[in-house]
Amino acid sequence: MPRSPSRTSQATAPPPTSLPDHELFLSRELSQLAFNQRVLAQAEDPSIPLLERLRYLCISCTNLDEFFEIRVASLRTSVQFGGTQTIDGIAPVSLLNAIHQQASALVDAQYRFWNETLRPALNEAGVRILPRDAWNARQKRWLKEYFENEIMPVLSPLGLDPAHPFPRILNKSLNVVVVLEGKDAFGRAGGMAIVRAPRSLPRIIRIPSEISGTTQDFVLLSAVLTAFVDEIFPGMKVKGVWQFRVTRNSELVVDEEEVENLAHAVRDELLGRGFRPAVRLEIAENCPGHIVDVLLQNFSLPANAVYRINGPVNLNRVIQVYDMVDRPELKFPSFTPRPSKLDTDAPFEQLRQRDVLVHHPFESFSGVLDLLAHAAHDPEVLAIKQTLYRVGKDSPLIEHLITAARNGKDVTVVVELRARFDEEANLRLADRLQEAGVQVSYGVVGYKTHAKMMLIVRREGDRLRRYMHLGTGNYHAGTARAYTDIGLMTANEELGADVHALFQQLSGLAPSFKLKRLLTSPFTLHGGLLAKIAREAEHARAGRPAKIIAKMNALNESGVIRALYAASQAGVEIDLIVRGACTLRPGVKGLSERIRVRSVVGRFLEHSRVYWFQNDTQPELYCSSADWMERNLLRRVETCFPILDPKLAARVLDEELTNYLADNTQSWVLLPDGRYQRLLPVEDEMPHSAQNALLARLCH
């Protein structure tokens, strides 16, 4: 696939507004932090079951980890190399200070909620995560024995002296710093030591029922480590012990133009990821300043990288308790997804007659698996082509692909090795597929393959026919139970020709084909969106019906934002449902007063991308793998596919857009200054949760 022109699609963009950029765009980083605050608000909601509130708290912690590993890491690199201000008008140094201020407030809120609300509530419900001061004598004796028998034998404490320099600390690993007094066996005076907790040790320890009288008493490894660390240093006095954790830059840096084998290059990068430059230090709040200074010096971090923690530094590990406790009444009610409408006995015959739409998680992912399984065994199927970005461990989809290859089908899979934090799993997956005879491609140099598509080629009489699945989400059965996504199964000939051409581009060196139905990144999607937004503006200026409704995970591409501003000024009504970061500033008089932005945070992660354009009296509805972000529109391989069946298009409009715009219980409205305001039912208004409405409508 040749490189796309740098910005040729900008030719259709409107002329820039006279307002300076810092008034046009919100900060992506601060907007992303605001999303984490909305996730934490879910944890703080007393109407949500208790263990689900625990899960939301841990998700907010994990999200914050990734924010530092990627976004803050990028900013610190920018500062290091003299980067200038970003499009929102904030210089990187100033932005890092603003991040520290807001992230510190978020961390304080997380631990205040944990200490004052959630842990006491869990304790009252009989699920106890016991701090050191809550252990009774019997529990303490058992934990000491556990430490001596299960933990201490695998620890390797390191005293800091000229012969033992500061050790390499693995990204996000649990560590304690210990100050010692006295002399060791060699007569060396006490000082400072570091104790690292190996990844092999469980972070959550269940106390046996014969000790506590219940199976629901738990202790964090960090608490046990700090309680009994003196056992590691016999004959010396422990003057202080403080747990800490360092977060490092986790963005892989692979010069794809210079490597001969991308898989080998990614493997090499993964080996060093855990020890890349530090970006954050979390440490117990009572740790003395001079100890913190030593750690900052060794990690080459400034003062605004320190986060004082009133509790376990690895609070996100408590999420393990969710699966360790069998208490259905403390979790969301279970649900059974509606079976997909695919005829599993004769799927190809059915798809020749009509398209089949699936709406996850409300409808089962099994329909997608059934289509592939049928193809793997059908003697008339000649070839299967598949993209894989993220896929679950031991996925039946992989087994079906392997079965197809062993049954003599020509199976080609495009595995994206650079799917963030799934790189190692995807390398193993690629190896396994290749061993089974599957032809594996790693996509295109310089572009992540984020498109979600499956193509089945079948001989039918004297012709070949193509069947497809196109989706907004990954081929991952696990996330299909937790993420909202749209999938389309179809035998449309024009879409089939387009998908075939795109696979040719991905696996070979094909030219840029002119496609009939698909919009794709990095070629036509960006320009196509700008043209459709401009078309709505023209309709509005001519007095014709003009409206845009779009749902996505994030929005930051400046060309699209400027086009939306111009459409708003022309009279187009615009509703955007953006789950996460949004840099568009809505509701600004004379600029974006017709643009409304909301975020929905609920039981399921909102993941579907749906775009609807009123287009006078001929509305168009598209589903896509792409958010309206610079990376998705310009630096990734993405698909955007129309829903051509009018009934299915009306269904997606109703379920994914109109339904969500009516939500007044889990929606947050973006204000012009970047703050989000919770939307609540007004007087005499019935509460409406979009996700609950779909559960009631589609599930059992």
Element (H, E) at 503: helix 493-507
Lowest mean pLDDT among 146-160, 461-475, 625-639, 655-669: 146-160
CA 405 to the chain's CA centroid: 32
In a domain, 167, yes or no: yes
Give the pLDDT mean for 543-572: 97
**CATH code: domain of residue 184:** 3.30.1840.10
Question: What DSSP assignment string belongs to 605-645?
Answer: EE--EEEEE--TTS-EEEEES--BSHHHHHSEEEEEEE--S
pLDDT at residue 85, rounded to an integer: 62
Cβ neighbours of residue 576 under 8 Å, at least 6 residues apart?
549, 550, 551, 552, 555, 564, 582, 584, 586, 595, 596, 597, 598
The type of residue at 45 is D
Both tokens of residue 293? 């200074």
From 525, 520, 517, select the one nearest 497 (Cα to Cα).
517
CB 639 within 8 A of CB 622: no
Both 110 and 228 in a single domain? yes
Domain C-terminal end among 515, 537, 569? 515
Lowest mean pLDDT among 208-212, 234-238, 360-364: 234-238
In a domain, 538, yes or no: yes
- Of 360, 400, 450, 469, which residue is the catalytic one? 450
Domain containing 669 equals 8-24+520-698
Give the pLDDT mean for 552-569: 96
Both 594 and 471 in a single domain? no
**CATH code: domain of residue 490:** 3.30.870.10
pLDDT at residue 10, rounded to an integer: 38
Give the pLDDT mean for 212-237: 91
Give the pLDDT mean for 161-166: 60
| Residue 260 phi, psi (nearest 5) | -90, -30
In a domain, 58, yes or no: yes
CB 680 within 8 A of CB 664: yes
Element (H, E) at 396: helix 396-406
Q: Does residue 251 register a pLDDT over 80?
A: no
pLDDT at residue 448, rounded to an integer: 87
Both 426 and 543 in a single domain? no
Both 19 and 36 in a single domain? no
Both 527 and 511 in a single domain? no
Give the pLDDT mean for 136-142: 95
Both tokens of residue 115? 């200490």
Give the pLDDT mean for 335-361: 95
Based on DSSP, count helices (H) and strands (E) in the chain, helices before strands.
23, 27
In a domain, 339, yes or no: no
Give the pLDDT mean for 610-628: 97
- pLDDT tens per residue, range 485-519: 999 999 999 999 999 999 998 877 666 778 999 99
Residues 336 and 699: their CA atoms lie apart, in Å, by 6
* Proportion of the chain above pLDDT 90, given as a percent: 74
Helix residue ranges per DSSP H, 168-309 = 209-212, 221-227, 262-273, 289-299
pLDDT at residue 236, rounded to an integer: 85
Residues 536 and 356: their CA atoms lie apart, in Å, by 29
- pLDDT tens per residue, range 464-473: 999 999 999 9
Both 378 and 448 in a single domain? yes
DSSP state of 98: H
Residues 168 and 639: their CA atoms lie apart, in Å, by 42
pLDDT at residue 83, rounded to an integer: 66
In a domain, 97, yes or no: yes
* Separation in Å, CA 28 to CA 72, 272, 342, 584: 11, 28, 41, 9
Q: Does residue 375 register a pLDDT over 50?
A: yes
In a domain, 132, yes or no: yes
In a domain, 3, yes or no: no
Give the pLDDT mean for 155-171: 76
In a domain, 340, yes or no: no
pLDDT at residue 4, rounded to an integer: 40
Q: Does residue 254 register a pLDDT over 80?
A: no
* Proportion of the chain above pLDDT 70, given as a percent: 89
**pLDDT grade for 385, boundaries at 50, 70 and 90:** very high
Both 71 and 101 in a single domain? yes
- CA torsion sign for 272, 275, 279, 283 is positive
Both 148 and 35 in a single domain? yes
Both 274 and 132 in a single domain? yes
List b or e across 320-337, with b for residues whose CB sees 16 or more CB atoms inside 10 angstroms.
bbbeebeeeebbeeeeeb
Active site residue 377: no
- What percentage of the chain's residues is helix, strand, coil (to nearest 5)? 40, 20, 35
Number of domains in the chain: 3
CB 219 within 8 A of CB 201: no
Pairing of strands 237-248, 278-284: antiparallel
pLDDT at residue 509, rounded to an integer: 66
Both 187 and 227 in a single domain? yes
Domain C-terminal end among 459, 490, 515? 515
* Residue matched to tokens 């970003």: 86
Lowest mean pLDDT among 5-9, 198-202, 256-260: 5-9
Domain C-terminal end among 275, 297, 330? 330
* Cβ-based neighbour number of residue 97 at 10 Å: 14
Both 658 and 579 in a single domain? yes
**pLDDT grade for 412, boundaries at 50, 70 and 90:** very high
Backbone torsion region of residue 34, taken as left when φ is above 0, otherwise alpha when ψ lies between -120 and 50, otherwise beta = alpha
Share the mean pLDDT of the chain.
Answer: 89
- Indicate the angle between helix axes 28-44 and 92-113, nearest 10 degrees: 0
Both 257 and 367 in a single domain? no
Both tokens of residue 412? 């080609």
